[in-house]
Structure 1
Amino acid sequence: MSEQVKSRQRVQDHGEVFTNPREVNAMLDMVKQETGRIDSRFLEPACGNGNFIAEVLRRKLAVVAVRYRKSAGEYCRYAFVAVASIYGVDILADNVAECRERLLGIVKDEAHKVLKAAPDQQFIDAISYVLKKNILCGDALTMKDAAGEPITFAEWSVVTGDKVKRRDYLLSELLEGSGTKRGDQMGLFQSGWEYDEEIDGLIPSAVREYPLDNWWEVSRRG
């Protein structure tokens, strides 16, 4: 069976066909500047087992390695930032599990190359937790997760030093506000929205905010 297809039945039931590496790289080269930004956010709404976001992660980690290989602490911190900037949704649970494991494997392998040793468990636990929150099983068309609840993504922002701020947003509201510029006419119920410099647009208020934590302790609050 071709690497682009797991089974004919899955193609019939879900239209599942994976993009081959050559096409993935050609498309990502069109936004090469963004794939080279460690904190630039990427969302793949039908991520499958991660062909696109795996390559995005490799490119980001390559930049982290060049810039921070001389300091294990700095390397791990910015590797966390790279992972935390990548999001994916897929309708099939096995794809989601495979994607998370694939991305974690990339992080482990790249960290081992740079650090000349296996990364410590705190680092792995933090990366695993972020992947659990950022790679979700759901339907990006209905914007509902596998349990029928609205898809909610966590935003991870390094505030100062090793401190990270987590804020949760509804995917539906993020997409509704994308591209809306500061000063544009806003809807009746959008008075709580705020301007985001990174996207030069308006984003909704978070549905939940968490206290600051060290990046390696993000899993403490569930």
Structure 2
Amino acid sequence: MTEKIIKSKHRVQKHGEVFTPSWMVQKMLDIPGVKEATEDVYATFLEPSAGDGNFLEAILERKLFAVTQKYDKRNWKTKSLFAVSSIYGIEFLEDNLEVARSRMFLHYLDWIERCFGERLTSRSDLYKSAHYLINRNIVRGNTLTKRHPVTDELIMFSEWKRVKGHPSLVERVRFAFAELFGEVIIDDEDKVVKRQLSLFELSEENAAENETNNVRIQKVYTLGD
């Protein structure tokens, strides 16, 4: 069966939408340096044009495989959430966004079922935390304007930082995508952020200037919005 790489000529003309075929995704992820990062549970990936999530799902698949190869099984659930938390995406079209999120989440649920012989229910912490992370890391936006295409709000992300000495604890550091490019952001208190941030590598001082929360990663959904 031939893999479909366009949905319609209209979408190609209006949005330049052409999906990357699976074989090419795998080939690109096998590039030296990239390949090693996909096998690192904590290495951060950002897909600026996420489409229907083919790259995101492929990266998650590799990271989850790395979890089973590098860690004791008793740690797989915690490490798997760190893997999910390290993958980010921005997608302009709402229908693609929903498909990308769904692909990521269903892949995760299938992986848990294969590894542990159980299908997570919507009441479980693992289910709610994975869903929470995916929906906050994969967002709708225009990468060029760094804003939501309808509301014009800034694209916001959270970094899920490991807390030293606490292997299951994370600190949430919220920031605007535009800050990564040195743009000046003025918040509700007219506070100006002028320094350029390195992608998902905020210093302790920068972290103090952002909203922070500490929580066990399996309870990360309790942070809310």
Does the alignment reach a TM-score above 0.5?
A: yes
Distance 1:176 1:203, change over 3 A: farther
Distance 1:138 1:194, change over 3 A: closer
Aligned residues: 206
Out of 212, 218, 222, the residue aligned to residue 210 of structure 1 is 212
Distance 1:13 1:168, change over 3 A: same
Distance 1:107 1:82, change over 3 A: same
Are 1:67 and 2:70 matched, yes or no?
yes
Distance 1:151 1:204, change over 3 A: farther
| Distance (whole Å) between structure 1 residues aligned to residue 27 and residue 178 of structure 2 | 29
Q: How far has the Cα of 1:9 moved from its partner?
A: 1.3
Q: How far has the Cα of 1:128 moved from its partner?
A: 0.4
CA contact (8 A) 1:195 1:203 kept: no
Structure 2: tracts of 5 or more residues without a match: 184-192
Distance 1:203 1:16, change over 3 A: farther
Out of 148, 151, 155, the residue aligned to residue 152 of structure 2 is 148
Report the AA paired with residue 5 of structure 1: I
| Distance (whole Å) between structure 2 residues aligned to residue 77 and residue 37 of structure 1 | 14
Report the AA paired with residue 46 of structure 2: L
| Distance (whole Å) between structure 1 residues aligned to residue 64 and residue 78 of structure 2 | 11
Matches within 5 A, 1:87-102: 87-102=88-103
Moved more, 146-155 or 83-92: 146-155
Distance 1:11 1:163, change over 3 A: same
Are 1:129 and 2:132 matched, yes or no?
yes
| Distance (whole Å) between structure 2 residues aligned to residue 203 and residue 23 of structure 1 | 39
Report the AA paired with residue 177 of structure 2: L
TM-score normalised to structure 1 length: 0.84
Q: Deviations over 1:118-139 (max 9, x none)?
A: 2352101101001111000110
Q: Which residue of 2 aligns with 1:112?
A: 113
CA contact (8 A) 1:151 1:171 kept: yes
Are 1:169 and 2:171 matched, yes or no?
no
Moved more, 145-154 or 86-95: 145-154
Q: How far has the Cα of 1:212 moved from its partner?
A: 1.0
Alpha-carbon RMSD: 2.5
Q: Which residue of 1 aligns with 2:10?
A: 9
Are 1:23 and 2:27 matched, yes or no?
no
| Distance (whole Å) between structure 2 residues aligned to residue 150 and residue 5 of structure 1 | 29
Out of 28, 33, 37, the residue aligned to residue 36 of structure 2 is 33
Moved over 4 A (4+): 193-196, 201-204
Q: How far has the Cα of 1:214 moved from its partner?
A: 1.3
Identity of aligned residues (%): 32
| Distance (whole Å) between structure 1 residues aligned to residue 66 and residue 7 of structure 2 | 32
Q: Which residue of 1 aligns with 2:188?
A: none
Equivalent residue of 1:161, what SS? strand
Report the AA paired with residue 165 of structure 1: E
Q: How far has the Cα of 1:111 moved from its partner?
A: 1.2
CA contact (8 A) 1:112 1:118 kept: yes
Q: How far has the Cα of 1:2 moved from its partner?
A: 5.5
CA contact (8 A) 2:179 2:197 kept: no
| Distance (whole Å) between structure 2 residues aligned to residue 194 and residue 59 of structure 1 | 28
Q: Deviations over 1:141-197 (max 9, x none)?
A: 0000242111111100221132111001111111349xxxxxxxxxx932xx7789x
